[in-house]
Amino acid sequence: MAHVALADKGQELAHPKTWIGMYVWSQDHKIIGIQYIITATAVGVVALILSGIMRLQLGFPGVFDFIQPDEYYQAVTMHGMIMIVFMLTAFFLGGFGNILVPLMCGARDMAFPYMNMLSYWVYLLSVIVVCASFFVPEGPTGAGWTLYPPQAITEGSAGADWGILCMTVSLALFVVAFTMGGLNYVTTAFQARTRGMTLMRMPLSVWGIIMATILGLLAFPALLVSVIMMTLDKALGTSFFMPAISSLGENLAHEGGSPILFQHLFWFFGHPEVYIVALPAFGIVSDLISTHARKNIFGYRMMVWAIVAIGGLSFIVWAHHMYVSGMNPYFGFFFATTTLIIAVPTAIKVYNWVLTLWQGNIHLTVPMLFSIGFIFTFIHGGITGLFLGNVVVDVPLSDTYFVVGHFHMVMGVSPFLVVFGGIYHWFPLLTGRMLNDTMGKIHFWMTFLGTYAIYLPMHYIGILGVPRRYYANGTTEFLPDSVQTANLSITLAALVVAAAQFLFLINIIWSMFKGRKSSRNPWRATTIEWQTPDYPPKHGNWGKELPVIHRWAYSYSVPGAKEDFIPQNEPPSEHTRGEGKV
C-alpha cells in the first residue's frame, strides 16, 4: 500500500499576510515557541530578582529595611512558583517543545495550530494574573511555593486574601493553557511524523519533551483540583483543607477538613512536575552531547526506555515529600522504596551520557560546556536525592538548607544549564546568527562555578541544622558563627551569578542584530531541523516536499562516510552503507 505522507494529510496551512498575523496572532509553531520563550524569560527575570531579595536578607540580616518578614516570605513563594511552573515548565514544553517537536518529527506545524496559539495566550494571561498579585492589597501570597493550608489562607500570613486567590486562579489558567499545548505536542509526535520517522528514530529531545508532556497531562489535573478546592476554601468558606483551628485568638468557622489531603493532591502533581522539567532536559542534553562529541548516543534504546520508566515511576513516589507530615510510616517504607528504584533508570542515563563522551571527539563549544556542566550538577543533585529519599535520613534533614541545596541542584540549576545549552545550540536555527562565543564562555563559567559557590555551602549549613524558609536565624546555641559567614558568601556568589545572566541577555539581544552569520548547519548536526529548504525555516517548514527519513538521529563519525555526520534525511548511498543496522 502506498504510504500517505502523514504530516501532509489534512493540513491546509493558511499563510498570514499581515505583520500582526505573522508575529502576534501567529499560528506558526516556531513563533509561538519564541513567544513562550520571551514570556518565560521575562517572568524568570522577575523570579531571579526575587531570589536576590531573599539572599540580601540572609546575607545581611536586618540591613535592608524594605525586606520585612512578610516581604521575605512573599519573595520565597513567588520565586519558587514562578521558576518551576511559569518559567521552566513553560520554557521547556511551550518553548523548546513548540519549536523542536514539529521540526524534528518532520511535520509542517503542530497538529492543531489554532489551539496551539490559544495555549500561548492563555499562558500569557496566567502570567499576567500571577504578576498582578504583586499589586493587589497586601501583596502576593507568602505561603511558600507549596501553598500548604491552613496557613496559606489563614489571616496573618502574607497575602492570605488577594495574593492566594491570584495564585490559585493563575495556576488554574496555566493548567488550561498547558493542556491545550500539551495535547498538541503529543498528538503531533504520535500522529504527524514524516515518512520514515519511526518512534525509535526520533531524537531523544522529542522523546523527553513528549514524555514530560504526558506527565503534565496526567499530573496537572491534581493541581487543578487542589487549587479549585483551595479557592473554594478561601472564597466560599468551605472546609476541604481546613481543620477546626483557632487563629489570632479566634476560632475560625472551618472544621473537619484535611490539610494532608492538600499535600497528597499537591505532590501528586508536584513530583511528576520535577520530571516535567527534568525529562526535556535529559532529552535535549543527550542530543547536545552526541552532536558536540561527534559520536552516537550510547544505548539509544535504553535511553528511550529509561525516559519512559522514569515517567511511569514518577507517579508513585510523591509522598516522599511528606515523610514529616505525620503520614503512616508504612507509607514511608513504600515511597522510599519506589524513590530509590527511580535511581536505576536515572543512573542508566547518566552512565550513557558519560559513555557517549568517552573517546568521543569532544568539541568544547558553549552548548557542550553547558551539557557537561549539567552532568556534574545533575549527579550532584541526584546523589543528595538518594539521601533524602530514605526516611531516616530525610527526617532530620527535611526543612533544612540541605533540601534547598538538593533541589536547586537537581531541578533548578540542572534544567537551567540545559536551557542555556539549548539556546546556544538552536539560536542560529531561529535567527540565522551565532551567539557570541566569548560572552557565552564567560556566562558558562560564571554560572557553573557560581552555582557550586551557592549550593555546596547550603548542604553544609543544612547538615548543621540551619532551617530553611527562616527570615532570620537569630542566635541559637547549635549554630556556630561561621553559618553567617557562609550565608554571606552564598549571597555574594548569588549576586555574581545573577549578574552573569544579564550578560547572557545582552548576548542574545546583541547577537540577534550584530551576531556572526551562521552557516546552514553550524554544529554539523544530523537532526532534520537543520535541513529545511529555507534557513531559518519558514512557515510550513518544509517547502513543497516533506523530508524522508532514512536513519536514526545519531549517525556521527560513521566509518567510510565522506563527512563525520550523515543527516537523517540523506538517502542511502555507497558512502553511508557501512553505517550500521539502525
Partner 1 sequence: MAQGSGEVATNDAVTDLVSDWSAEKEVFKVHWGKAMMWIFLLSDTFIFTSFLTGYMKVRISSTVPWPNASEIFALSFGGDPIPLILIAIMTFVLITSSGTMALAVNYGYRNERVKTALLLFVTAGFGLLFVGMQAFEWTKLIAEEGVRPWGNPFGAAQFGASFFMITGFHGAHVSGGVIYLTYVAFGVLNGRYEKKGYDIVEIAGLYWHFVDLVWVFIFAFFYLW
Task: Give every CB contact of residue 459 below 8 A, 6+ residues apart in sequence.
Answer: 384, 401, 402, 405, 406
**What would the x/- binding string for partner 1 be over residues 3 to 32, using CB under 8 A?**
x--x---x----------------------
Cβ–Cβ under 8 Å, residues 317 and 337: no
- In the complex, the smallest distance separating the C-beta of residue 202 from partner 1, rounded to whole angstroms, is 9
Q: Which of 75, 88, 192, 486 binds partner 1 (CB under 8 A)?
A: 192
Q: Which CB atom, from 153 or from 222, has the smaller least distance to partner 1?
A: 222
Q: Which CB atom, from 264 or from 441, has the smaller least distance to partner 1?
A: 264
Q: Which CB atom, from 264 or from 575, has the smaller least distance to partner 1?
A: 264
Of 233-241, 374-382, 489-497, 568-576: span binding partner 1 (CB under 8 A): 233-241
Q: Which of 36, 73, 120, 240 binds partner 1 (CB under 8 A)?
A: 240
Q: Which of 542, 571, 464 is nearest to 107 (CA)?
A: 542
Near partner 1 in 529-558, by CB under 8 A:
549
Q: Which of 99, 224, 419, 429 binds partner 1 (CB under 8 A)?
A: 224
Cβ–Cβ under 8 Å, residues 75 and 55: no
- In the complex, the smallest distance separating the C-beta of residue 253 from partner 1, rounded to whole angstroms, is 7
Q: Which of 42, 200, 344, 392 binds partner 1 (CB under 8 A)?
A: 200
C-alpha–C-alpha distance, residues 283 and 97, integer Å = 11
Three-state secondary structure readout of 507-571: HHHHHHHHCCECCCCCCCCCCHHHHCCCCCCCCCCCCCCCCCCCCCCCCECCCCCCCCECCCCCC
**Taking the CB of residue 250, how many other CB atoms lie within 10 A of it?**
9
* φ, ψ of residue 157 in degrees (nearest 5): -85, 150
SS3 247: strand
Of 64-72, 86-94, 211-219, 399-407: span binding partner 1 (CB under 8 A): 211-219
Q: Which CB atom, from 8 or from 399, has the smaller least distance to partner 1?
A: 8
CA 286, 437, 435, 549 dihedral sign is negative
* φ, ψ of residue 212 in degrees (nearest 5): -65, -35
Q: Which of 199, 344, 364, 395 binds partner 1 (CB under 8 A)?
A: 199
The H or E element spanning position 485 is helix 482-514
**What would the x/- binding string for partner 1 be over residues 152 to 181, using CB under 8 A?**
---------------------------x--
101 binds partner 1 (CB under 8 A): no
Q: Which CB atom, from 229 or from 558, has the smaller least distance to partner 1?
A: 229
Near partner 1 in 258-277, by CB under 8 A:
258, 261, 264-265, 268
* φ, ψ of residue 320 in degrees (nearest 5): -70, -5
| Residues binding partner 1 (CB under 8 A) | 3, 6, 10, 111-112, 179, 183-184, 186-187, 190-193, 195-200, 217-222, 224-226, 228-229, 232, 236-240, 253, 255-258, 261, 264-265, 268, 549
